[in-house]
Amino acid sequence: MTPFQPGRARPLSALRAFLQHEASGGYVLMVAAALALIIANTPLAGVYFSFLGHHLGFSLGPVSLDESVLHWINDGLMAVFFLLVGLEIKREVLDGQLSRPSRIILPGMAALGGVAAPALIYLIFNAANPDTRSGWAIPSATDIAFALGVLALLGPRVPTSLKIFLTAIAIMDDLAAIVIIAIFYTAELHLGALAVSAGILAVLILLNRFGVKALWPYLLGGLLLWFFVLESGVHATLAGVALAMVIPLRKSPACPDDVTSPLHRLEHVLHKPVAFVIVPLFGFANAGLSFTGVSLSSLMDPVPLGVALGLFVGKQLGVFLTAWTIVRLGWADMPKYASTGQLYGVAVLCGIGFTMSLFIGNLAFRQAYLVDETKIGVLVGSLASALLGLLILRVSKSDVPESDEPQPAALADDVQMNLR
């Protein structure tokens, strides 16, 4: 990383690393999901599902944990994913794309529309059924790795401003999903464990206030926080978000984006493991779906139909119509060099909801057949969104004369201007 020096252009390491790792990680996630689907429909299916159901545990004095491999991935490793999400949200709010109201309006309102519309479409098919209406949040989130992976296939055809716009929407989607999980998917609270969690968090806040820059005290406290949040009944992954909020981001007028701050150091360490190991492993563990007994008529069941249409129709309508309206009202500018067609194409890509949609589906339903129906809806809706979004962006042209199209160096400067 290049440190910031007065008189020099501000480094782009954080955003550049995010875009590169998420896009490349998206390809690995695609392979992992495809591999899971293949294995689940071969003679190896029994081994696959047996392995995910195998229990692993340990006891250390009064501390005892015994969970299936699937739960260790979903409740344990995904806490690290949420930690990285929390770090990205904090950095963007304090010192990035979301640090000023003028930057938040367009992606913020578009993200809000992209959360509300899919939920409403899902409820059209499931509101009357108490067993399935709890899945209303499943189609509400965008999978940034998949979406950026698709965008990367188009190369410089898509303006960098739209990649920033998509990233901001996905980050806000994740923030909305965190709030939704905390409020709507906490079944039972154990106040004693919750009180201990609050005490640990208070200690971590004090470490921040006293200027402790070493990462190990925060990580040790975060491990304890994860255990007691798990015991409290609140979903354990939220411990990762809480830990992210107390990791220090030190900045000053002379160094507004200090890459040596604890937050930047931890974010840099986590990018590759999360993008290339944790998220693909989650996809491999959760995408496995046996097609035995599955037919086209299965898609007409309320859950898969609501999820698929929520992602494919609800996301694009919610994001595009909201963003288009905001621009037409003059409340925000269109992303630089982007045409209306390209904006619509990116809105369609927001319907790729793989990782977070599957994650919420596991929280919403305890019945195995509903989890499988969720997978059908997520796969169909996400695939349709990816293909249509890719087609639209291939045929859409930037809203700028060809002679004025920015070269790679100019695109980098444009990212810098967006980050200032």
Angle 174-180-184 from CA coordinates, rounded to 5°: 155
Q: Which of 299, 399, 394, 315 is nearest to 353 (CA)?
A: 315
Q: How many CA atoms lie within 13 A of 284 on its CB side?
A: 18
Q: Which helix (H) or strand (E) holds 302?
A: helix 302-309
Residue 12 has pLDDT above 50, yes or no: no
State percent of the chain over pLDDT 70: 84
In tens, the pLDDT along 99-109 reads 677 678 888 89
Residues 29, 145: contact at Cβ < 8 Å?
yes
In tens, the pLDDT along 361-381 reads 888 888 888 988 999 999 999
In tens, the pLDDT along 189-227 reads 788 888 999 999 999 999 999 888 889 999 999 999 998
In tens, the pLDDT along 297-347 reads 778 899 999 999 999 999 999 999 999 999 999 888 888 888 889 999 999
DSSP string, 155-186: GGGS-HHHHHHHHHHHHHHHHHHHHHHHHHS-
Cβ-in-10-Å burial (0-12, 13-18, 19+) of 76 comes to: middle
Residue 123 has pLDDT above 90, yes or no: yes
Confidence band of 256 (pLDDT split at 50, 70, 90): low
Confidence band of 420 (pLDDT split at 50, 70, 90): very low
Confidence band of 4 (pLDDT split at 50, 70, 90): very low
In tens, the pLDDT along 46-87 reads 898 899 888 887 777 666 777 888 888 888 888 888 888 888
pLDDT at 419: 32
Which domains, from first to last, does the chain contain?
23-186+235-395 (1.20.1530.10)
Tokens 């071969």 -> residue = 42
